[in-house]
Amino acid sequence: MVYSVIGTGAIGGYYGGRLANAGNEVHFLLHRDYEHVVRNGLQVDSVSGSFHLDDVLAHKSPDSMPKSDVVLVCLKTVNNALLGELLPPLLKEDTLVLLIQNGIGVEADVQAMFPGVSLAAGLAFICCAKNEPGHVNHQCFGSINIGNYSCPDQSRVDALLADFVAAGIDAHLVSYDEARWRKSVWNMPFNGMTVVMQAQTDALLANPSMRALIKEQMLEVIHAARHLGVTGIDDGFADSMIEMTLAMTPYSPSMKLDYEFHRPMEIDYLYSRPISIAREAGFEMPKLSMLEAQLRFLEEKNL
């Protein structure tokens, strides 16, 4: 299959790089480090095995990219308005678009932009960063859950999963709603709390009060999901996420990095949408609603 990556940052560089390193045809849309990658290739330093791509199929514009079987969208959701220009040149009748993005409600909005396009959700559990041109640093974890949102042919999603697994990626098929809410159990507490408290994950969990608050926030997400009819996520998942995070390298999630670099934060899909969806169904998320308000205040001062 022919793959294209929109948003070759840490996530797009890692998963796209793994696919390319395994021999797949992968085209990368780059912006600021296009010239660097053309000259020097793409370096992925990874706990799962480092590698270097010498001849990267790098593009500065989607107009030079081929029609693709699969498009990996790895943009921050604050930039999704750009998809109206970036995605159409890559689409053919049976293209599958995998949205490896944070939050709840992403697919519904992209589907409204592209009514006939097949979409799937990619929920990455990974610690990685791209702090230098053409250089991805994968620190720990790396699995990805894939949920079919609107692809009528499940075999196309299965083929995508098979390519991920063959490339050495720990990939799993899960139901769409479970995938999105399961990732939010980690994302909603840690992204916002690392910004508000100006602390990495390890420091938050080392403090008993913060650890208790984060667990309460996780349970709000789990109970909201359950209220919405999502199965497969029980209360014990909160403890599992906390234990997983304790085993992680001390980490600054993407929202904390965005705040530090004075970039817009993904508040809409990470907080406003899930809180609104839960409220419409009769379930309130008071602790996470307070966190959303704090993030809105900080962003207004920071931009």
Annotated domain spans of the chain: 2-174, 178-302
Residue 185 confidence (pLDDT) above 90: yes
CA distance 86 to 148: 22
Grade residue 276 by pLDDT with cuts at 50, 70 and 90: very high
Question: How many CB atoms within 10 Å of residue 93?
Answer: 8
pLDDT in the model for residue 166: 98
Q: Which fold has domain 2-174?
A: Rossmann fold (3.40.50)
Q: Contact, 210 vs 204, CB < 8 A? A: yes
pLDDT at res. 226: 97
Structure tokens at 157: 């999603």
Average predicted confidence (pLDDT) for the chain: 96
Residues 16/5, Cβ–Cβ less than 8 Å: yes
CA 3 – CA 166 distance, rounded (Å) = 15
**Confidence category of residue 122, pLDDT binned at 50, 70, 90:** very high
Helix (H) or strand (E) holding 5: strand 2-6
pLDDT of residue 44: 97
User: What is the pLDDT, as a whole number, of residue 104?
Assistant: 97
- pLDDT value at position 131? 83
Q: Is the pLDDT of residue 227 over 90?
A: yes
Do the domains at 2-174 and 178-302 have one common CATH topology? no
* pLDDT grade for 303, boundaries at 50, 70 and 90: confident
CA–chain centroid gap for 238, Å, is 19
CA distance 205 to 207: 5
Clarify whether 92 is annotated catalytic: no
Residue of 183, 256, 287, 301 marked active site: 183
Options 1.10.3720.10, 3.40.190.290, 1.10.1040.10, 2.102.10.10; which CATH number does 178-302 get? 1.10.1040.10
Closest to 122 measured CA to CA, from 138, 140, 106: 106
